[in-house]
Structures are given as C-alpha cells and as structure tokens.
C-alpha cells in the first residue's frame, strides 16, 4: 500500500516525497519526465511515468494505493479553471475505482467562494470531486505563499518596493511552502482523522503588507516600502513583465477577490492551523540570496 503524489517535482511535492520516504513510507510518484525525479526513485519512490491527464497513468498509480496527495499544478493555459476541475474529476474516478480511502487536496484560502477568484476558482470543484468519491478527504486550505515574494525580486533589488493592490491595513495568513509539505505529510500519515474536513495552513500569524515590508527591511538590510497600486496598474505591470494577458487577467481577478474579502480564510486560526516558519526566517534563508544575486547582476 502506497501514498501517491501527483506533483513530485514541485516546491511542495518534492519535499513531501522526501519526508515520506525518510519515514519509511512507500511512495508512488507520477511524472512525465523520469530524469527530473531520478533522485527520488533512487531514494525509493516508485515511478509511474505519464501525465495526470491520462486515465491509464492514474489507474496504474492508484492501483493498491492507500492515499493520494493531489495538487493542482499552477496555471499554464487560459482554460486552467476548467482543465483543473476536469483532471480532478478523472482522478476522482480512479480513486473510486481503486477504493482509495484517503485523499489530501492542496487547496487555498478563499476556495470556499468558488468562481471569481482567478486560479483559486478551480479549487472548490477540485475539493468537491474527491469528496464525492472518497470517505476521508482533507482539503489543506493554505494561506498566501511566502515564496510569492520571489516574484518581487527585481523590484526589491532595484527600488526596494513591493507592489500590490491589497489595502495596507488588510491582514492575511502567509505560509512557507516547506511548512505546507510538512503539514501534508502529517495529515497523510495520521490515521486518526475521518470524514471530510477543511484544514487551514496559516503560517505563524496574519500579517499586513507594510508589516511584511518592515520585516524585509530588517532582513535584507535595505529599505523596503509597500506601494499599493490599482488593479489595472497591477494588470499592466504583470503584462509588462511578460505574463500572457490571460494570466495577468486571472491574477488580477484573484487580487480583486483579496480586496473584496472573498480570499479571506474560512478556517479560524488555531494551534492545528498555525505553522512555524516566520517571514523573517524565510527571507533570510530563501529570499535574501536571490535578491543579492539580482542586485549584483
């Protein structure tokens, strides 16, 4: 009996696989590119080569599985919301066919509101697809990734600015992806929970953008200022940075949902939803080296 991971080469999937293997768990991974996961196979993971869009691949991976971790990949096409829901429906059909009892879905704050929140719009249908077929499903509704600050590296390195449309007084949960992987491993290996539940993954505390800027000022050793911009300015900036128009539109819709409160966490902060890595720790270990490299280039 194995735990199946559908995204073993991502920032969450890869450390999750490594953690489970380190605990002596049997892990099956799905990947179209064997060379990208060769090290995981050497560590003991079983590879099923193929696409998560392919029924035969899903059936091969889920045959005899005890649990599935499902992460919808980042958007790469204009019809992402429909695509993600359809792929999850197909995976759910395989879960049902093979009698997989436990599913852990990576979701997001705001998923409860469905349409109108950009890429997050896909996640409610994804949650529902698995809840319709599996007796035990946990949806991990993660806060905003600290890793999103890596998109701001150029602005931080050249001008010391963070640009966003979020009101400066608005607090929101922010979490490191390493902590999401740890929480996923914890839930996947915990046999005590049953039924369908939504579990927040909220980082150590809710934070505002100006508070984040103050933390980055201290860690990066340079002044960092938060600058609120309008949604249309944000859209133009993303397109100017090279994002396709459809992707800029999707993220603009998501940030509009943040402003409107539709991306607020539905799950209250608790000991179970609070994770340890602080923004200062993340900035020192992950963000600072990248910013310093950008400054030097």
* CA separation for the pair 249, 294 (Å, rounded): 27
Q: How many CB atoms lie within 10 A of CB 56?
A: 11
pLDDT at 1: 79
CB contact at 8 A, 166 and 207 = no
Phi-psi region of 29 (alpha: psi -120 to 50; beta: other; left: phi over 0): beta
Where exactly are the structural domains of the chain?
2-143+175-201
- Nearest 5°: phi and psi at 245? -60, -40
Matching residue, tokens 């396709």: 244
Residues constituting the chain:
297
Class of domain 2-143+175-201: alpha beta
Matching residue, tokens 């600072």: 288
CB contact at 8 A, 250 and 83 = no
Q: How many CB atoms lie within 10 A of CB 76?
A: 9
Q: What is the pTM assigned to this prediction?
A: 0.96
Per-residue pLDDT of the chain (297 residues; tens, 9 = 90+): 799 999 999 999 999 999 999 999 999 999 999 999 999 999 999 999 999 999 999 999 999 999 999 999 999 999 999 999 999 999 999 999 999 999 999 999 999 999 999 999 999 999 999 999 999 999 999 999 999 999 999 999 989 999 999 999 999 999 999 999 999 999 999 999 999 999 999 999 999 999 999 999 999 999 999 999 999 999 999 999 899 999 999 999 999 999 999 999 999 999 999 999 999 999 999 999 999 999 988
């Amino acid at each position: 009996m194995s735990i199946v991971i559908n995204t073993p080469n991502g920032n969450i999937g890869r450390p999750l696989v490594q953690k489970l293997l380190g605990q002596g768990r049997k892990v099956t991974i799905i990947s179209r590119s064997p060379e990208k996961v060769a090290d995981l196979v050497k560590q003991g993971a079983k590879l099923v080569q193929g696409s998560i869009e392919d029924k035969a691949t899903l059936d091969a991976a889920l045959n005899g599985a005890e649990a599935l971790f499902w992460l919808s990949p980042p958007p790469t096409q204009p019809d992402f919301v429909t695509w993600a829901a359809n792929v999850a429906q197909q995976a759910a059909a395989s879960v049902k066919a093979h009698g997989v009892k436990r599913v852990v879905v990576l979701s997001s704050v705001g998923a409860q509101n469905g349409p109108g929140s950009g890429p997050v719009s896909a996640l409610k249908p994804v949650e529902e697809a698995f809840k319709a077929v599996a007796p035990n499903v946990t949806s991990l509704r993660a806060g905003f990734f600290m890793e999103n600050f890596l998109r701001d590296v150029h602005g931080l390195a050249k001008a010391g600015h963070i640009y966003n449309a979020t009101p400066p007084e608005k607090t929101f949960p922010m979490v490191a992806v390493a902590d999401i992987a740890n929480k996923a491993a914890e839930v996947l290996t915990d046999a005590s929970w049953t039924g369908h539940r939504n579990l927040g993954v909220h980082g150590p505390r809710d934070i505002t953008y100006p508070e984040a800027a103050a933390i980055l000022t201290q860690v990066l050793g340079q002044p960092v200022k938060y600058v609120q911009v309008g949604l249309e300015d944000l859209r133009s900036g993303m397109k100017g940075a090279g994002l396709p128009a459809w992707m800029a539109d999707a993220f603009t819709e998501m940030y509009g949902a943040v402003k409107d409160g539709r991306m607020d966490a539905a799950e209250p902060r608790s000991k179970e939803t609070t994770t340890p890595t602080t923004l200062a720790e993340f900035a020192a270990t992950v963000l600072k080296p990248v910013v310093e490299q950008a400054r030097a280039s």
